[in-house]
Amino acid sequence: MRCPGKYMEGYITKGIGGFYTVKTDAGAVECRARGILRQRGQAPLAGDRVRLSADGAVIEEILPRKNSFVRPPVANLDVLFVVASTTSPAPSTLLLDEMLAAAVYQGVQPVLVVTKADLAAAGRLLAAYEKSTIPAIAVDYAAGEGLDAVRARIAGNLCAFCGNSGVGKSTLLNALAPGLGRQTGEISQKLGRGRHTTRAVEIFEVCGGRIADTPGFSSLDAQRLVRIPKAELEHAFPEFAPYFGQCRFTGCSHRSEKGCAVRAALAAGEIGQSRYNSYLAMYEQAEQIKEWER
């Protein structure tokens, strides 16, 4: 495809082995990235808006990003759907909170989606986030519940779905947009988690917006989503915000200090215990990160 005398612009829908698919107003093109970009540490990501050479063969420039993630490797997200299952695999609230915090810290709207609500009760997991201000949607495929609420969040936005392998991300995408025909995998009974059926990030235009199917990842990878400094971790928990400035001591870590407004809210039931436990665990992790690792 050629466009003589001018640059083309578009966004990356997929990148594999150094080749990128870019959606432009004139259609999709396959191209490589100019070597100078990688020399500058500017690796193109799915979701990046880019400027192409006149013949559409080379990515000349990555336009300014509003955010970017390493896992899932995607840029310019508006909404991050953190997918958890009620069973097989059983949910880890710490893992979920690491992903949700990463979204908040990056200025992305997090949405918790609880799958397999038809196999086990979702109420207990949803209750853990009742006070968090983070939207939570339970999906019951048998009853057809929750899908319209997810579609409404997708409309007009660039979204990604993340979560551990086996929680049903590909199944959810199939239910939202059956035409995609995404590959789904069976749960490994031995490992208690799903096989990695999705191999690379790919963005699709459906439900009035764009959604990215992303590889499954482990709890170690979740910790690598974003390095959140301990002094800024409180801002990644939106339910803490009403109590900022009310603690007795400036720079309160909300762990053991006297006169802590966050801990008082916890005692009063205004902050969920599991969310607060995750904050403590993540604060301890952040303390162990060396300055040169940040």
Tell me what the mean pLDDT of segment 70-88 comes to: 86
Q: How far apart are CA 35 and CA 118, in angstroms?
A: 49
pLDDT higher than 70, residue 198: no
Cβ atoms 98, 127 nearer than 8 A: no
Global pTM reads 0.84
- In this predicted model, which residue has the larger pLDDT, 71 or 263? 263
Q: Work out the number of other CB atoms within 10 angstroms of the CB of residue 54.
A: 14
Q: Domain spanning 69-222: which CATH class is it, in words?
A: alpha beta
Residue range 227-293 in CATH 3.20.20.70? no
In whole numbers, what is the pLDDT of the chain averaged over residues?
85
DSSP 63: P
- Over residues 53-65, the pLDDT tens digits come to 988 999 999 999 9
Q: Measured in whole angstroms, how far is the alpha carbon of residue 200 from the centre of its chain? A: 15
**Can you give the pLDDT at residue 105?**
94
Which two tokens mark 266?
Answer: 């916890």
DSSP state of 76: S
Q: Is 161 helix (H, G, I), strand (E, B) or coil?
A: strand
End-to-end CA distance of the chain: 42
CATH number for the 8-63 domain, one of 2.40.50.140, 2.130.10.10, 2.60.40.420, 2.102.10.10?
Answer: 2.40.50.140
Q: Yes or no: say if 159 and 205 are a contact pair by the CB < 8 Å rule.
A: no
On the question of pLDDT at 170 being above 90, the answer is: no
- Gap between the Cα atoms of 92 and 180, Å rounded: 29
CA distance 209 to 225: 23
* 260 vs 18: which has the higher pLDDT: 260
Q: Is the pLDDT of residue 185 over 70?
A: no
Residue 161: pLDDT band by 50, 70, 90 thresholds?
confident
pLDDT top residue among 166 and 210: 210
CA-to-CA distance for 58 and 61, rounded, in angstroms? 9
- Map out the domains of the chain as residue ranges: 8-63, 69-222, 227-293
33, 58 contact by CB (below 8 A): yes
Report how far residue 210's alpha carbon sits from residue 284's, in angstroms, rounded to the nearest whole number: 36
Question: What's residue 112's pLDDT?
Answer: 95
Say if residue 183's pLDDT is above 50: no
Q: With DSSP H G I counted as helix, E B as strand and the rest as coil, what are the percentages for the chain, rounded to 5? A: 30, 25, 45
